[in-house]
């Protein structure tokens, strides 16, 4: 399992920057938005710093292919599990359809992430909780009793997951951590690279970098599949596509 750290900008709406006083539980959620990727959801949380639409985020998001993004460091509070935010780490999971059932890849990565965090915080498999256990919300949907799935079935699915984690706790999975650290430097490979007012090719061109050079990037943002970088000078944003720039 690989954890990619793409921390949200500290802001009141999704990353208050508050260190949690105690960490006693790991709370599992489903994103409730079928087919969206981990990155889509991470970027949604990050954009709340600008849109101010609502207060929501999670420490981790597990994607459809088992990719894991760390949005908020595990020791900090995220806005996901209501009153349990004060004592739990939250994990959102993507799902392909409206049933909320996780893919095998998602569930495997979730189990590995739980093992990693339980060990790190000295907890046991019984310390994994559902959003449902805190507020009664049908989250994660596939593991929560509803009109369509009786309690014994939903609770049985959750119990089976915890048993799986319990079995894995003896053998810790390999965990690789990639850090998206800011700022970082890039070497410009493109002879004439556009600078745009905002991230994305639909934003206005406000200049260009001609003849290459080394530049410092102070912020990043994903637009579709492309990462954009904000120039330290304040001139604007450039594409960090590997065709145009190389990280150094
Ligand atoms: Zn939830």
- Higher per-residue confidence, 27 vs 9: 27
Separation of CA 27 and ligand 1 centre (Å): 8
Per-residue pLDDT averaged across 72-95, rounded? 95
Q: Residue 117 and residue 109: Cα distance in Å, rounded?
A: 12
Provide the pairing of β-strand 245-247 with 184-188.
antiparallel
> CATH number of the domain at 2-178, please?
3.40.80.10
User: Distance, CA 165 to ligand 1 centroid (Å)?
Assistant: 20
- Distance (angstroms) between ligand 1 centre and the Cα of 222 equals 24
Structure tokens at 74: 């595990």
Cβ atoms of 241 and 193 within 8 Å: the answer is: no
Give the distance (Å) from ligand 1 centre to CA of residue 163: 21
DSSP H helices in 121-206? 131-135, 151-168
Model confidence at 36, in pLDDT bands (50, 70, 90)? very high
Residue 166 C-alpha to ligand 1 middle, in angstroms?
A: 22
For ligand 1, the distance from its centroid to the CA atom of residue 38, given in whole angstroms, is 15
Q: How far is the CA of 203 from the centre of ligand 1 (A)?
A: 34
**Which ranges of the chain would DSSP assign to H, the alpha helix?**
38-51, 104-120, 131-135, 151-168
Please give the average per-residue pLDDT across 155-179, as a whole number: 85
Between the CA of 193 and the centroid of ligand 1 the distance, in Å, is 42
Distance 85 CA to ligand 1 centre (A): 11
Cα–Cα distance, 207 to 197 (Å, whole number): 9
Cα 138 to ligand 1 centre (Å): 8
The fold of 182-247 is SH3 type barrels. (2.30.30)
Cα of 80 vs centre of ligand 1, distance in Å, is: 6
Torsion sign across C-alpha atoms 133, 138, 142, 147: positive
Q: How many CB atoms lie within 10 A of CB 1?
A: 19
171: pLDDT strictly greater than 90: no
Q: What ranges do the domains of the chain cover?
A: 2-178, 182-247
| Predicted confidence (pLDDT) at residue 46 exceeds the cutoff of 70 | yes
CA of 58 to the centre of ligand 1 (A): 9
DSSP secondary structure letter of residue 19: B
pLDDT score recorded for residue 179: 65
Could you tell me the pTM of the whole model? 0.74
């Amino acid at each position: 399992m690989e954890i990619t750290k793409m921390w949200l900008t500290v802001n009141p709406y999704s990353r208050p920057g508050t260190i949690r006083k105690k960490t006693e539980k790991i709370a599992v959620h489903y994103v409730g938005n079928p087919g969206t990727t981990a990155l889509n959801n991470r970027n949604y949380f990050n954009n709340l710093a600008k849109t101010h639409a609502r207060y929501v985020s999670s420490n981790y998001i597990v994607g459809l292919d088992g990719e894991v993004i760390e949005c908020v460091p595990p020791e900090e509070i995220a806005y996901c599990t209501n009153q349990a935010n004060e004592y739990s780490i939250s994990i959102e999971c993507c799902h392909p359809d409206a049933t909320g059932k996780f893919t095998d890849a998602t569930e495997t990565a979730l189990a590995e992430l739980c093992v990693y965090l339980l060990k790190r915080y000295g907890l046991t498999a019984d310390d994994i909780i559902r959003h449902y256990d805190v507020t009664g919300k049908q989250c994660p949907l596939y593991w929560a009793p509803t009109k369509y799935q009786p309690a014994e079935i939903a609770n049985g699915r959750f119990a089976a997951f915890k048993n799986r984690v319990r079995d894995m706790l003896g053998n810790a999975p390999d965990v690789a951590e990639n850090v998206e650290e800011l700022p970082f430097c890039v070497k410009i490979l493109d002879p004439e690279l556009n600078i745009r007012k905002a991230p994305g090719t639909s934003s206005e061109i406000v200049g260009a970098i001609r003849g290459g050079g080394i530049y410092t990037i102070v912020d990043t943002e994903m637009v579709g599949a492309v990462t954009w970088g904000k120039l330290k000078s304040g001139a604007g944003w450039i594409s960090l596509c590997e065709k145009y720039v190389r990280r150094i």
